[in-house]
Amino acid sequence: MSTVTGTAPGAAPPPGTGGRRVTAPPRKAARARAWATRAPLLPALIFLVVVTQLPFVATLVISLWDWNALYPDDRAFTGLGNYEAVLGDAELRGAVLTTALLTATVVLVSLLLGLGLALLLDRRFRGRGVVRTMTITPFLLVPVAAALLWKHVLFNSEYGLFNGLLARFGDLFGFTAPQPDWISDMPLAAVEMALIWQWTPFMMLILLAGLQSRPLELTEAARIDGAGSWQIFRYLTLPHLRRYLELGALLGSIYIVQHFDAVYTITAGGLDTANLPYVVYQEFYQAQEYGVASAAGVLVVIGSLLIAVFALRVVSSLFREEGSRA
């Protein structure tokens, strides 16, 4: 009996071979098939590298130079000098604190509001599909358009909706309602309100997906045992939503850290509302300090990547949990 490569000694040859020697496919043929499989993805991969990685490499190189566009002949290599200037800048440290406060406030409040909306939309009622569609509409708006809506339609001290409602209630109850200048009196809160309004639907969608994936038999068993609504929420629903809450918080943080539109549109970075992206914009387009702006941009990217790593870990653990349940 002839031997067959790739089989145990003494084993019968595969059916259909007629006892002939069967050789393993050549390594070159396997590589050719692998490349043929990956070839359709190469244009997208090349485009992604050209659009994202090459500009980032150029930013890294520029961040090592003292480069002011107003004095193009005075460029000089400074190494990590721009990073030292960025980390030692008092304005940048204030922007870091503003970014942290803005991110934490928007993420926490939008998570709480999103959780409340998700719990409401998880119940069955007539017109739930229409209400759900209307609820996610703010997240579908262009960020600049949403910021302009809040600045001119809601916050304007002369014809804005908020002051109009205050005046209307004052007329109804017979007192003179205050007419605050929302942006001047509470600038950071104005930016936060616009971002919370836009990001609450995103959190609601994530948490609603988590609610609809929970095992209903556990809830029914708890109700049979006499558990109330609060006990079910505290000991069953909330632990089940923990991963979804973490995912929403991390994804929201990645975006809010890099958010520029609302700060630029509503306050133009004034009144202590300038965050890190706005400081980078100032260095690039106002001070023309390309080296310092590139260094600040690299630090923002590093911070965003650190948050993204945690987000990816949460996503992978969430998928592992769902796979183990399946």
Q: Check whether 177 has a pLDDT greater than 60.
A: yes
Task: Name the percent of the chain lying above pLDDT 70.
Answer: 87
pLDDT in tens, 4-42: 444 455 555 555 555 555 454 567 777 777 777 777 777
Do 206 and 114 meet the contact criterion of CB atoms below 8 Å apart? yes
State mean pLDDT over 206-218: 86
pLDDT in tens, 271-283: 888 888 888 888 7
Structure confidence at residue 105 (pLDDT): 92
Query: Exposed, middle or buried by CB within 10 Å (0-12, 13-18, 19+), for 166?
Result: middle
Structure confidence at residue 150 (pLDDT): 92
Average pLDDT, the chain: 81
Q: Check whether 192 has a pLDDT greater than 90.
A: yes
CA dist 221 and 215 (Å) reads: 11
The single residue listed with the structure tokens 């300090």 is: 289
Q: Check whether 3 has a pLDDT greater than 50.
A: no
CA dist 132 and 310 (Å) reads: 29
Of 138-142, 232-236, 273-277, 317-321, least confident by mean pLDDT is: 317-321
The single residue listed with the structure tokens 């988590």 is: 210
Strand duo 76-77 + 65-66: pairing = antiparallel
**Which domains are present in the chain?**
91-325 (1.10.3720.10)
Higher pLDDT, 73 or 159: 159
Higher pLDDT, 21 or 300: 300
CA dist 200 and 155 (Å) reads: 19
Tokens found for residue 193? 């309100």
Nearest-CA neighbor of 262 among 114, 136, 106? 106
Structure confidence at residue 259 (pLDDT): 86
Helix axes 90-121, 242-257, angle to 10 degrees: 140
CA dist 88 and 211 (Å) reads: 46
State mean pLDDT over 83-97: 82
State mean pLDDT over 125-134: 84
Higher pLDDT, 266 or 233: 266
Cα separations in angstroms, 254 against 134, 245, 267: 25, 14, 22
Residue type, 80: L
pLDDT in tens, 233-260: 888 888 888 888 888 888 888 888 888 8
Q: Check whether 198 has a pLDDT greater than 80.
A: yes
State mean pLDDT over 216-221: 82
Write down the pTM of the prediction: 0.73
Query: Which band of pLDDT confidence, cut at 50, 70 and 90, is reported for residue 201?
Result: very high
Of 114-118, 145-149, 255-259, least confident by mean pLDDT is: 255-259
